[in-house]
């Protein structure tokens, strides 16, 4: 049975959209794409917005296409996800306070990957260099996440 993972940020045009496509690529490289469905959403997303142009360009540099991405808000079936990963502690708290989620399925990216309480930096409104930093940070944390889910899920 396929497991479901979702990445959550604010607008679903930068961090969570990049995390989704990075995770999909890495799961495919690890031979796990048939076992995990990856999604993304935003707590304050305006539906059907494209990914941020800098996010698209930075993903292009990594050989990943983000052009087809369309933003969306938290899905009605959020409780069906096996793993819900937020970009910040605030995103996590909002999910726990206002959405039907199980507390043991919700973590910040860094909390799940590394056991620390730091947030993923928000590149919104920044230049491409900051988007590269965010993509690098996400990539490193997703590597840890995949290593962990290979062993435990």
**What mean pLDDT do residues 118-144 have?**
97
Q: Vertex 39, ends 35 and 43: CA angle to 5°?
A: 150
How many CB atoms within 10 Å of residue 57?
14
**CA–CA gap between residue 152 and residue 101 (Å, rounded):** 20
pTM attached to this predicted model: 0.97
Domain ranges across the chain = 3-152
Per-residue pLDDT tens digits for 68-118? 999 999 999 999 999 999 999 999 999 999 999 999 999 999 999 999 999
Residues 6+ apart with CB under 8 A from 140: none
Look at residues 47, 38, 50, 142 and name the one whose alpha carbon lies nearest to residue 82.
Answer: 38
Look at residues 3, 9, 6, 35 and name the one whose alpha carbon lies nearest to residue 119.
Answer: 9
With cut-offs at 50, 70 and 90, classify the pLDDT of residue 150. Answer: confident
Per-residue pLDDT tens digits for 7-58? 999 999 999 999 999 999 999 999 999 999 999 999 999 999 999 999 999 9
Give the pLDDT score at 151. 74
- Catalytic (active-site) positions: 9, 15, 122
Domain at 3-152: CATH architecture = 3-Layer(aba) Sandwich (3.40)
């Amino acid at each position: 049975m396929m497991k479901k993972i979702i990445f959550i940020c604010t607008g679903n045009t930068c961090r969570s959209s990049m995390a989704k496509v990075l995770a999909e690529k890495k799961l495919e490289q690890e031979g796990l794409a048939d076992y995990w469905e990856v999604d993304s959403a935003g707590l304050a997303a305006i539906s059907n917005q494209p990914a941020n142009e800098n996010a698209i360009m930075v993903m292009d540099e990594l050989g990943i296409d983000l052009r087809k991405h369309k933003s969306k808000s938290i899905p009605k079936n959020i409780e069906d996800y096996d793993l819900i990963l937020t970009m910040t502690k605030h995103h996590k708290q909002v999910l726990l306070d206002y959405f039907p989620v199980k507390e043991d399925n919700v973590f910040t990216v860094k909390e799940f990957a590394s056991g620390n309480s730091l947030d993923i930096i928000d590149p919104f409104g920044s230049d491409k260099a900051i988007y590269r930093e965010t993509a690098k940070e996400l990539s490193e944390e997703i590597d840890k996440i995949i290593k962990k889910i290979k062993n435990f899920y």
